[in-house]
Structure 1
Amino acid sequence: MKGKVWKFGDDVDTDIIIPGRYLVLRDEKELAACVMEGCDPDFSEKVSEGDIIVAGKNFGCGSSREHAPIAIKGAGVAAVVAESFARIFYRNSINIGLPLIEAKNVSKSVSEGDIIEIDVDKGILKDLDTSEEFEIKPLPVFMLGIMNEGGLINYLKNHIGEIKG
């Protein structure tokens, strides 16, 4: 993955990602039009397909709403990179096929607008503007399988025979 960085801080909660008043929406493109409105009302107009969100610690904290990762994915964001993620947001994102990348100190070093490249297989994130590299935390094999198939529903459809035994 390679994309332009949009930077956010620590403790970005799900109400910042998609404010509660939009929870009546179900379509990912409608949700995407409101994504990150809690901290940048124009974000949905500025973000482009393949861009990458970089944040600090505890990204996605707050409620368990699935709307948050759906809105991010619907906006065309290729991945979210953070120092750490809230547990339920992490699992909701994996379940819909939104890549989450954990990398220590990345939010302190990467700047908004930088272009970063993520090589999941090699476990490296590289800031192409500064040539700085960061080690990324690998996903567990079963979660990588879910991600590679576009989310939990696709994974289950493709492996239902294996699951039944």
Structure 2
Amino acid sequence: MENIIKGKVFVLGDNIDTDQIIPAEYLTYNPAIPAEYKMFGKFALCGVPPAQAGLPKGHIPFHDATDEFISPYRIIIGGKNFGCGSSREHAPIALAAAGIQAVVAEFYARIFYRNSINGGYLLPIESKKRLVDEICTGDEVTIDIGAGLLTNHTTGDKWELAPLGEVVPIIESGGIFNYAKKVGMLK
């Protein structure tokens, strides 16, 4: 697990559901096949309504013209109930395939949170404050995992993050199966 994550943020609103993160029509791709895994990145967040995408500046595309598979953003700032909806494991896969390393939200739908950690796809970090009203899409930020701090280099503001707690060994192992092997639960 990286202790420091740096990059541009993409800001979303409340109740971003798994159908918005990766619509069902793109679930025909197999993430175990590298060429098809890339397609999850290409279609990540394509189901988010324009009113909720790129907040608070209005609709800003998640992908740019230089690379349709990888987003220029590394961190998503979300509101309440991020990842709600179906138990779709493909949602954190799609974000990871698009280059997202972490999502910082007020709170998560439990299944999205667990899928993110169990698969080792990305870090779901909870904020102690509503950041969607404080940070703009395109701002450059740093997340210091060890210090539990998010710094916005565009504005100079800093916010405290909730500690990751008991999931750290799973994250550090790269997912639940790697963790189970590491501690002797699987051979």
Tell me if both proteins adopt one fold, taking TM over 0.5 as the criterion. yes
Q: Deviations over 1:113-158 (max 9, x none)?
A: 00111111111111111111111011123x1111112111221222
Tell whether 2:91 aligns with 1:68.
yes
Greater per-residue helix proportion: 1
Partner Cα distance (2:174, 2:40) in 1:
19
2:140 to 99, 112, 115: 115
Tell whether 2:90 aligns with 1:81.
no
Tell whether 2:113 aligns with 1:94.
no
User: For residue 133 of structure 1, what is the aligned residue in structure 2?
Assistant: 158
User: For residue 29 of structure 2, what is the aligned residue in structure 1?
Assistant: 25
Residue 38 of structure 1 aligns with an amino acid whose one-letter code is G
Partner Cα distance (2:40, 2:154) in 1:
31
**Across the two proteins, how many residue pairs are aligned to each other?**
160
TM-score by length of 2: 0.80
User: For residue 12 of structure 1, what is the aligned residue in structure 2?
Assistant: 16
Write the mapping of 1:27-66 to structure 2, written as runs, cut at 5 A.
Answer: 27=31, 28-39=37-48, 43-44=62-63, 45=68, 47-48=71-72, 51-66=74-89
Question: Tell me, which stretches of 5 or more residues in structure 2 are unaligned?
Answer: 32-36, 54-59
Q: Percent identity?
A: 46
Residue 133 of structure 1 aligns with an amino acid whose one-letter code is K
Q: Any idea what SS the aligned residue of 2:87 has?
A: coil
User: For residue 154 of structure 1, what is the aligned residue in structure 2?
Assistant: 178
* Conserved 8 A contact 1:57-1:83: yes
Which stretches of structure 1, 4 residues or longer, exceed 4 Å deviation after superposition? none
* Conserved 8 A contact 1:3-1:78: no
Partner Cα distance (1:10, 1:117) in 2:
22
Residue 8 of structure 2 aligns with an amino acid whose one-letter code is K
Residue 158 of structure 1 aligns with an amino acid whose one-letter code is K
Q: Alpha carbon RMSD of aligned pairs, Å?
A: 1.8
TM-score by length of 1: 0.90
How far is the alpha carbon of 1:43 from its aligned partner? 2.5
